[in-house]
Structure 1
Amino acid sequence: MLRNVLLALIALVIAVGGGTLSAWYAVNRFDGFGTLTVGQWTGYPDAGTPQSDPYAKARAAREGAFPLGSAEGLAFYAYRDDQGQALNRQCTYSIDGNSPNSRFWTLYAADLALIPLDPGAERLPALQSRQIFRSENGKFTVSVSPKAQSGNWLATTGDGRMVLVLTLYDTPVGSNSGLVDMTFPVVKKVRCDG
């Protein structure tokens, strides 16, 4: 009798613990279904639509996110540089290239909870497509750094990991049928100061 009670308790602990851990993993670590990855950038085209998977809905509810609808735009996230290392606020990065087809885009740095970093006084919290300097061929270079940089500079503060968020507005990228240019800028580490 005692053996049966002990086995039932062990089964209950495994069931509750395993269910809790799997739910935590699905909401916090699992990218979900239907991700669109281009280079270092990952987007969720179905977020904010009825076709969104249950994990994405749970993540949005937990974070209090209000994702853009499919006709409005699409956010892409870069968690790592071109060498696969996690992005760090104390490092200087160069974002080189061109943005995909979109009418307008914004770029900002955020913490891992996707809360925008406070760049400090008199610094812009985000860059947008109509304010950056471009070369003759339309490409741009953005410096992401805690120290002032010449040209296009996105300021970061604090320490620890960060995420770069590139939001494309009025873009056909989410419904890509192979006819849209899917080139995204590359995030390269220049140096680390901390």
Structure 2
Amino acid sequence: MRLIFISLIALIVATAVGLGATWMTSTRGISFGAITIGAWTAWPRTGTADIDPYARAAIARSGELPIGSGDGVAFIARTDDNGRQLDGRCDITVSGITPAARFWTLTLYDARGNLVSNSLQRYGFTSQEIVRTADGSFDIRIAPRSRSGNWLPTGGLDRYLLVVRLYDTPVGVATRSQRDAPMPAITTVACP
């Protein structure tokens, strides 16, 4: 009787740990094959048949439609280059250049993955509308109050994330470093 009881407890614990780990990976966006360059992270296998089961579960749960590997790749940033969470009450600068791509977008989302509502209805920039410097680089200011130049309003929310989508780009599974894919720098300029 004692052996059956111990076996039953072990089975319950193993089931709880397995279900808990699966829930955590499908809700927190944990998957394998990530590329991290600075504050930016991408999962280039997400849009392929080689997707890992945890990423597949996360996509099924969220209902997202990932970019296919032949179309491009999406990089996500939740922190600045120093590891500080992106805070909508702070002034943050995204500056530099992007990897080679026919077209790119930079979009601002809240922590739940929804577009950040604002009175201007400005949610991001594209490579065709951004104002650039003479050398081709750009500076985007992300802040709660109006700024000159390329400005994205945060509405003062606590946390947000940035997504850069590169379309028709050579960046992919073989990319490993800033040299292969020069991602823009994210810097917290001022914070109350």
Please tell me whether residue 26 in structure 1 is matched to residue 10 in structure 2. no
Q: CA deviation at 1:46?
A: 0.9
Aligned counterpart, 1:90: 89
Aligned residues: 190
Which runs of 5 or more residues in structure 2 are unaligned?
Answer: none
Q: C-alpha deviations, 1:36-69, integer Å up to 9, x for none? A: 1111111111112101111111111111100011
Aligned counterpart, 1:36: 35
Contact 1:27 1:58 in 2 (8 A): yes
Contact 1:86 1:161 in 2 (8 A): yes
Aligned counterpart, 1:164: 162
Contact 1:146 1:157 in 2 (8 A): yes
Q: CA deviation at 1:29?
A: 3.4
What RMSD, in angstroms, separates the aligned Cα atoms of the two structures? 1.9
| Equivalent of 2:125 in 106, 112, 127 | 127
Q: CA deviation at 1:76?
A: 0.3
Aligned counterpart, 1:186: 185
Q: CA deviation at 1:158?
A: 4.6
Moved more, 143-152 or 16-25: 16-25
Contact 1:101 1:181 in 2 (8 A): no
Aligned counterpart, 2:67: 68
Contact 2:175 2:181 in 1 (8 A): no
If the length of structure 2 is used for normalisation, what is the TM-score? 0.90
Q: Distance in 1 between matches of 2:139 and 2:129?
A: 13
One-letter code aligned to 1:27: S
* SS state at 1:47 partner: helix
Aligned counterpart, 2:151: 153
Q: C-alpha deviations, 1:118-142, integer Å up to 9, x for none? A: 2x12241111111111111111100
Q: CA deviation at 1:13?
A: 2.6
**Closer, same or farther: CA 177–117 of 1 in aligned 2, 3 Å:** closer
Q: C-alpha deviations, 1:58-98, integer Å up to 9, x for none? A: 11111110001111111100011111111112221001111
* SS state at 1:105 partner: strand
Aligned counterpart, 1:108: 107
Moved more, 53-62 or 20-29: 20-29
Q: C-alpha deviations, 1:132-163, integer Å up to 9, x for none? A: 11111111100011111110001112522211
Q: CA deviation at 1:5?
A: 4.9
Which runs of 5 or more residues in structure 1 are unaligned?
Answer: none
Aligned counterpart, 1:47: 46
If the length of structure 1 is used for normalisation, what is the TM-score? 0.90
Moved more, 4-13 or 27-36: 4-13
Contact 2:91 2:190 in 1 (8 A): yes
| Equivalent of 1:141 in 136, 139, 157 | 139
Q: Distance in 1 between matches of 2:29 and 2:10?
A: 26
Contact 1:142 1:151 in 2 (8 A): yes
Aligned counterpart, 1:80: 79
Contact 1:108 1:154 in 2 (8 A): no
